[in-house]
Amino acid sequence: MLDVMTEEELETAKAAAAAGVGAGVGSAGGASVGVLELAAQGAAVTGLSAGLVIGAGALAGALIGYGIYRGVKNKNKKRPTD
């Protein structure tokens, strides 16, 4: 038998998925752009500096993804129903 999620649980799952996707995209962006930028500036790219750049990208991506999700959710709430 399938258990049905409550509306609150469904919204929490959607928000977590949006943040997770954003974090994945941010990590990839941080890895490719941030580390290359450090190398171009002649900075020594260590495991720590690369990890910090990738982590910052993941955090930024998660926040942007969650913000987009909230914006879309709120826009759909304001839309009148037929």
Averaged pLDDT, 11-32: 79
C-beta separation of 29 from 52 below 8 A = no
18 pLDDT higher than 60: yes
What is the pLDDT, as a whole number, of residue 44? 65
Sort 20 into a burial class: Cβ within 10 Å, 0-12 / 13-18 / 19+: middle
- Render pLDDT for 25-78 as a digit per residue (tens, 0 to 9): 777 777 776 667 767 777 666 777 777 777 888 888 888 888 888 888 888 777
Which long-range contacts does 33-41 make (Cβ < 8 Å, 24+ apart)? 33/57
